[in-house]
Amino acid sequence: MKGRKAIPYLAALSGLVVVTTVLWPLRDLIRDNPGTSALVYVLVVLLVALRWGRTPALATSVAAILVWNSVFLSPYLGWFEAPAYLDDWILLAVFVITAGTVGSLAATTKRRAEQTEAVRAQVEQLYIELRQESGERRQAEEALRSSESRLRGLFESAPDSVVVLDAAGRIVQANSRTELMFGYPAGELVGRSVESLIAEGLRERHRAHRGNFTDPPDGRSPDAEFRARRRDGSEFPIDVVLNSMGAGADALTIEVFRDITDRKHSDDRIRAALEEKATLLDEIHHRVKNNLQIITSLLSLQTRRLTDRRVQDAFTASQDRIRSMSLIHEKLYQSEGSAQIDAGDYIHTLTGNLIRSYGLDQQRIQLRAKVENVRLGVDIAVPCGLLVSELVTNALKHAFPGDRAGEILVELCPLDGGVLRLLVSDDGVGMPPELDFRTTKSLGLRLVTALAAQLNGVVRRLDATGTAIEVRFAVDR
């Protein structure tokens, strides 16, 4: 900083040195006309004044007088002769000082003009910035008004009743759908408690539901069902959804009321139709069961009148087949409208009926059923039941001749891929190795093949002691 302040003085000194060097060859002329030659020094003073102001100019003026007097005047005249040129010397001093003063005033004027120009530039920049900010503010206000208009349009065009609540549960704003739904004129809802729109017996529950509402991750509460109350006192069912808006002391709650009267009516109609369908199905199963039992009874009466043993066996087998189907309808009737039966319960009952039908000694022949947790629809249960009936009947009739004792096992279990495995095995005498059950003339074994095909299943005889027939078939579970 100090070096900067010395610059004007060094520049002035350099100017005086340059002027003195230039005028030195003309010193004889200067001695004859010192006043005129001194104007050169005045030019230096004036330049310093214009560039750096009053103080450097005055200092330059004093230095110029001393240099001029010491270099050009005194060496020739001597100090005792110098007074003869006093007028020139005084003129030079006055001229130089005047030039310094004028220069300093000009410099001051210049600086003030520069300052004024700088202030004017700042004012212009500020004006430009204010205009730009004003334009941006107008754009922001227009965007805000447009956004508010869109939100207001969405708010008013919502198909459900939408109310905005403060922390105390008072209505701050309500859309036009609310006025139509509840029958209140515009503006009358504002300031009312939202519980006034709820049926009297449910207001405390609604207040508790609203008070327990905490902001979930998605900003929405689960739907809750209430009954609403119109201005005329009539009530109707609604779904209520709460949403949060804002936070802290200024937080608001948005509550949406949806009229579910039509949905309730539809639900009631569907429920009534389902109940009617269940009743009709129960009645159908009951009547089918009764009709099959009548047929079984007729076949039983006819069997008693027959004398041919082979014909009696054929009638008995037919009765067993009909009983297996009748039993399915009985189980469906007892399942209270379900379209499926418990396969374990069904097979246990079916095999027990077969043992009693043939009047066999259960101490000599034991029949076990091993069924995992499987439920069957009627389209699967009928052919599956007939398969069990045919295979168990075949074992009861042929596996244990005479007094031979043994065991019959019925297994039904699920495999991977939605496949069921039915296995009927015994430890009796077994089938002849050369017998192909697929081509035999036995009606029972031919029915086994046909029923497996009906299930789109695969039937095969396994290598085991006695006889083991396996059927695998797919089922939708």
Which two three-digit tokens encode residue 286?
């009951």
Confidence category of residue 79, pLDDT binned at 50, 70, 90: very low
Domain edges within the chain: 6-125, 161-213+224-260, 340-474
Q: Is the dihedral of CA 298, 301, 306, 307 positive or negative?
A: positive
284-328 confidence digits (pLDDT tens): 666 676 777 787 787 777 777 777 878 877 777 777 777 777 777
Which of 65-79, 164-178, 296-310 has the largest mean confidence? 164-178
pLDDT recorded at residue 269: 85
Residues 6+ apart with CB under 8 A from 294: none
Identify the CATH class of 340-474: alpha beta
CA dist 139 to 135, 136, 151, 153, Å?
6, 5, 18, 21
Confidence category of residue 158, pLDDT binned at 50, 70, 90: confident
Confidence category of residue 80, pLDDT binned at 50, 70, 90: very low
DSSP 3-state of 319:
helix
Which of 3-17, 329-343, 408-422, 442-456 has the largest mean confidence? 408-422
Identify the CATH class of 161-213+224-260: alpha beta
Q: How many CB atoms lie within 10 A of CB 463?
A: 6
In DSSP terms, which residues pair with 226 in a beta bridge?
A: 238
